[in-house]
Structure 1
């Protein structure tokens, strides 16, 4: 096939290509009202099932339009016609664009029906995948909770996969040494609880090994693979027989988690399975990195708020200390003035009876202790006002000549 342009397809295009698959063209020429197959291409026989096709009768059940075209002689075209292929557990839903054309003899009598169709199943699945993928990207852009995004992604893959699959997403701890539960809507609760916090390392199941290697790990049979020696009994109780794990990596190569697809029977992955894993591992990486960015932003905002609060507290404390210092300075000035007034009064009364440090309101308590300052001014006061002077006036000391005042102060 010739490329349309010289631009090389990117990795995402390559991952999506297997999901679209190849269109299958079917052709058959059917005869009579029983719709017996006269000729058919291998794709028709492979799609319908050769035994069913040869029997003829069952074709009318698959394609009810056959009877209408045979009876009326009018062609009919159907778009995305749903046909259930196979039976029982092997049955699968398929879609076709089909044209039914009547076959006529020379007299114009309808002798059969010609069927020409193209299977559109994979195209419809790819369209659904793109729609679901777009919805997930919109969730990420709206900053939906990570748990919701991962849970929705897991359910989407389980719905899109051609065979039954159970999806699990584990998130790496910041140190990359352990994996935590992220999403697994279809796995048993006891299983999710048991693997929550498993270590990353060689031989630790599919996910622990994939996280350690930073490469996909495909275990097609859990019952015999040595990577599952420590988890085989747990997997058996959960009904799991195969597990394919893909590491979820950040743009810088750091480990974000793992994306796993479990199966209930031993299985080798198809290219479609691997493509789904690659596409959605990239989507999960985008969601997890966005979550980490939002967490870091919230933490930075919290630190900034805490720093602002601490600064405000420090500024309030500084204002309170300044106000206290100013109050102490005012008190000291007032007490200094009292001492000077008392010193002047001592010239007439060396040892007054009442406290001289009471200020304008006065103090009638006995004058028990003599104090002085570095300027030589002294006064007598009661223990309460003497203590106030010592605490607030710089260089004030007890100056009782006989230490009687000191003893009274100490033993008060």
Structure 2
């Protein structure tokens, strides 16, 4: 029997005789947050119930004088009517703890949890005439416990800087597991300009659907997510088949077997758009307050994860830029040092050449030589000839200091013709 766990009481409670006792019970439970219903006969006809009972099952079903199975047909398939039959037959009370109950039907189906007691009612002779149902709804406590455990795990992922895709995918699966009916979760991430939405996570949606909506624009009437991103407020579409926001995406949604989509914008602390958080359903669905609260909690969690991701991205980019700048600076310093060393080498070589040229000019001053420089080329040179140079093939010429220096630097095998004899000539003239 789905969702039922409990135990039988070992002893039957004493009978509550008379109409006065029934009135006392109605008075006791009339304003209570505990649910109470008085059922009569083997058909479990609802004789009386307090407001909390009708609030739990739905105010639209607030009526008496009908069998419970007719008032709440969903209970039959979950085993609760069979339990009532057993308590009525045996006269033994039944206590249920944290019993899961699916209340209502699509599109208003919701999950609830109760601690409850089925207590037999007896007449003066001790015969069972009906059953009292007394219970306390524990749905919020149960959901809060599950939510806190899952939420804590997500926060730990964010704290240890897990990859954003891992966090968002885990969050989507967590929410899908928290809900009793099939739900498919999607997270879309906004482009920096906030004009388009990109795929973030959607582990249960088909690939063709994720690919089709990747990059959709934000704007009024662009599905649930595009509109929520544009408005910066939740957009609830309970029936995709008839909602005008889905005119351009209805065929796509039909292929993916999607019938409802509730989208919540994910906003940064400064109000800027980070993305959207969407809950899809296979059948038309109206959200309950708990659904909307769940969406808000996880939209905030997604915002924390996305902002943390962007901060880390910017930090890594800044560190990369700083390293690149440092490397470029080091490269520039090395280049500057190399240029300086080369300049110093060139300066030393130039000084040495200048010394040699001055020595040669002094030595050749008394040697017969042409009056003008012979190294001026076609343009000629009017400077006085001061130094004789020659090459390895025996050609020689006189030139001014400027042209001699230019020739020594740029022409291979050119040397000053009367350098100090320190080779074979020096040996021959020893």
TM-score (norm 1): 0.70
Asked if the contact 1:26/1:44 (under 8 Å) is kept, the reply is yes
* Residue of 208, 211, 224 corresponding to 1:206: 224
CA distance in 2, matches of 1:387, 1:204: 85
* Aligned counterpart, 1:171: 189
2:391 is the alignment partner of 1:373: no
2:49 corresponds to? 41
Partner of 1:153: 171
Corresponding position of 1:9: none
Deviation at 1:286, TM superposition (A): 1.3
- Please report how far the alpha carbon of residue 310 of structure 1 lies from its aligned counterpart in structure 2 after TM superposition: 0.6
Secondary structure in 1 matching 2:299: helix
Contact 2:44 2:68 in 1 (8 A): no
User: Which residues of 2 match residues 91-240 of structure 1 at below 5 A?
Assistant: 94-99=112-117, 116-161=134-179, 163-240=181-258
Counterparts in 2 of 1:269 and 1:101: CA distance versus 1, 3 Å: closer
Call closer, same or farther: CA 1:123–1:23 in 2, change over 3 Å.
farther
Deviation at 1:179, TM superposition (A): 0.6
Residues 358-369 of structure 1: matches in 2 within 5 Å? 364-369=392-397
| Cα displacement string for residues 61-84 of structure 1 (whole angstroms, at most 9, x for unaligned residues) | 54899599956xxx8765424567
SS in 2 for 1:384: coil
Contact persistence 1:69–1:100 (CA under 8 A): no
1:311 Cα deviation after fit:
0.3
Measure the CA separation in 2 of the matches of 1:68 and 1:103.
12
Pick aligned residue for 1:341 from 356, 359, 368: 359
- Confirm or deny: 8 A CA contact 2:111 2:180 kept in the other structure: no
Which among 280, 295, 313 is matched to residue 331 of structure 2?
Answer: 313
| 2:266 aligned partner | 248
- Partners of 1:88 and 1:201 lie apart in 2 by 30
Give, in angstroms, the shift of residue 345 of structure 1. 3.1
Match of 1:383 in 2: 411
**Per-residue deviation at 1:157?**
1.9
In structure 2, distance between residues paired with 1:292 and 1:387 = 69
Deviation at 1:180, TM superposition (A): 0.3
Q: Give distance in 2, aligned partners of 1:199 and 1:317.
A: 50
Aligned length: 355
Q: Distance in 2 between matches of 1:115 and 1:250?
A: 48
Could you say which residue in structure 1 is the equivalent of 2:35? 25
**Aligned mates of 1:379, 1:252 — CA distance in 2:** 70
SS of residue matched to 1:144: coil
Report the Cα distance in structure 2 between the residues aligned to 1:213 and 1:263, rounded to whole angstroms: 22
- The answer as to whether partners of 1:136 and 1:153 remain within 8 angstroms in 2 is yes
Deviation by residue 1:346-400 (Cα, 9 ceiling, x = unmatched): 2454569xx9779xxxx755354544336x9989869326599xxxxxxxxxxxx
TM-score of the aligned structures, taking structure 2 as reference length: 0.68
Q: Secondary structure at the match of 2:205?
A: coil
Which stretches in structure 1 are left out of the alignment for 5+ residues? 1-21, 389-412
Secondary structure in 2 matching 1:240: coil
When the two chains are superposed, the root-mean-square deviation of aligned CA atoms in Å is 4.4
- The whole-number CA distance in structure 2 between the counterparts of 1:159 and 1:219 is 22
Please name the residue that 1:15 is paired with: none
Give the C-alpha shift of residue 190 in structure 1. 0.2
Residue 322 of structure 1 is matched in structure 2 by 340
Residue 69 of structure 2 corresponds to which residue in structure 1? 51
Q: Structure 1 residues 119 and 113 mapped into 2: Cα distance closer, same or farther (>3 Å)?
A: same
C-alpha distance in structure 2 between counterparts of 1:387 and 1:208, whole Å:
83
Work out which of the residue numbers 257, 262, 266 in structure 1 matches 2:284. Answer: 266
